[in-house]
Structure 1
Amino acid sequence: MSRPGTTRGEGTRDRLTRLARESGVPLLRIGLGVVYLWFGALKLFPGGSPAEDLVERTVSALTFGIVGGDLARVGAAISEIGIAVVLLSFRVPRWCAVLLIGHVVLVSTPLVLFPGEMWSGPLRASFEAQYILKNLVTVAAAVVIASSHPRVR
């Protein structure tokens, strides 16, 4: 007798492929949600995030000095925690993708705003720049999440 969801002729490779297909997007959302929640929570506390100074300076530069310091840090924390909640809710995949891509665009601005700190030569990214550039994976994840909506298929 076969297990529910499997067929008699289904081999191990087929079962693993089906498992990957069915669990890939949920695992992607959970993984990203945990990271956004974790990094956002760190920013709630002064000195809690190694990116705190960069966040504060970036927000200050983008708002022409109107928003900075603790308000910038807490605003970034709340936005990241909000994105985590959307990711972990398993709802609104298109809005989730929009939020992720919007966040990546904003957190990528130091690459342009502070080039002397971000680049030590052609293609020689600082540690902070590498931290930012890894967000290209987040853009790919956003596309996968958006495409998971049933009406897209």
Structure 2
Amino acid sequence: MKERSIKLARRIAGNNILAISIGAIYLWFGLLKFFPGASPAEGLAQETVSQLTFQLISPSVSILLLATWEVVVGLFLLINIFRRTILLFAFLHMLCTFTPLFFFPESAFTSVPFNFTLTGQYIAKNVVIIAALFTLYKESGKSYQTSRT
């Protein structure tokens, strides 16, 4: 048991600030979604998942699934396990965050395509997160290759 704790501590200590900060944001935003009304993105997230799933998943279930997804991504980035796989889940999530720009342009823009609403700005900032995820993915490929040789 103690050996497992030491391994986990080393893994976390080997994590970098980029993975920690993205992991913390994912964890924080995901946890908020477990509490109705706590997340400012709750309504938008429910509407988006509803559109993406052709209304097959109810809003109450969709927000729980999204919250779980985000918490898992956050925890795994913080703990520094399954890095390449979890980054793929984060990329998929980030891709989906842009769909409201197309599904609900009236809530994202005051004047399409240049004048963002606060919601649009909330979505657009994800470009920076995607760039950070690419950086982490590239780094994880290098460490994966060196650990195999």
Q: TM-score, normalised by structure 2?
A: 0.80
CA distance in 1, matches of 2:23, 2:107: 29
User: Residue 51 of structure 1 is aligned with which of 36, 41, 49?
Assistant: 41
Shift of 1:115: 1.0
**Equivalent AA in structure 2 for residue 70 of structure 1:** S
**Equivalent AA in structure 2 for residue 46 of structure 1:** P
Name the structure with the higher helix share: 2
Shift of 1:127: 0.5
1:112 paired with 2:102, answer: yes
Shift of 1:67: 1.1
Q: TM-score, normalised by structure 1?
A: 0.78
Structure possessing the higher radius of gyration over alpha carbons: 1
**Equivalent AA in structure 1 for residue 118 of structure 2:** F
Instruction: List gaps (5 residues or longer) in structure 1.
Output: 1-22
CA distance in 2, matches of 1:68, 1:126: 27
Aligned residues: 131
CA distance in 2, matches of 1:109, 1:91: 29
State the Cα deviation string for residues 19-63 of structure 1 (Å, max 9, x = none): xxxx9x611111111111111000001111111110111111111
Written as runs of structure 1 = structure 2, the 5 A alignment for 1:81-92 is: 81-92=71-82
Counterpart for residue 143 of structure 1: 134
CA distance in 2, matches of 1:33, 1:74: 18
Written as runs of structure 1 = structure 2, the 5 A alignment for 1:4-153 is: 26-121=16-111, 122-149=113-140, 150-151=143-144
Q: Work out the percentage of aligned pairs sharing the same amino acid.
A: 34
State the Cα deviation string for residues 80-112 of structure 1 (Å, max 9, x = none): 001112211213332232122111111111011
**Equivalent AA in structure 2 for residue 126 of structure 1:** T
